[in-house]
Amino acid sequence: MALGEGQRIEFKPSLAQLDPGLRSLCGMVNADASHGAILFGVSDKGVPVGVEDANLDRSQKKIFDKGKKFDPRLPLDIRVCFRDDKAVIVVGAARVADGCTWARRARHPL
């Protein structure tokens, strides 16, 4: 968090921004960087604010289920970290096949 946002990392203060966060992650994986991470529960300035949902298991399942809507399926690495007693959910992904492009399968939003 100290290094701030960049080509391979993005902060989202809330899980309410899950859909745009996963779209950004998909873009990171498709870009030259070929991997990236979204940190939910972190302000744009890199300050931990914590995720709003106290049920972290349910939040992780929701993220995992949303990840299934990419074709081919985007393998997500979902972890919970605590910074300043605030829960931060880190969602990472990396390209696993050369030349593969990820896109949403459904017409509806993530």
pLDDT digits (tens, 9 = 90+) for 41-57: 999 999 999 998 668 98
pTM for the whole structure = 0.84
Contact at 8 Å (CB) between 36 and 25?
yes
What is the pLDDT at residue 103?
A: 59
pLDDT digits (tens, 9 = 90+) for 47-102: 999 998 668 989 999 999 988 888 777 789 999 999 989 999 999 998 876 656 55
Q: Break the chain into its structural domains and give their ranges.
A: 9-100
Q: What are phi and psi of 23, to 5 degrees?
A: -65, -40
Strands 35-40 and 76-83: unpaired
Name the token pair of 75: 């393998």
Of 69 and 13, the one with more pLDDT:
13
Q: Please say if the pLDDT value at position 1 is more than 70.
A: no
DSSP type of residue 6: B
Summarize the confidence of residues 20-45 as an average pLDDT. Answer: 90
Architecture category of domain 9-100 in CATH: 2-Layer Sandwich (3.30)
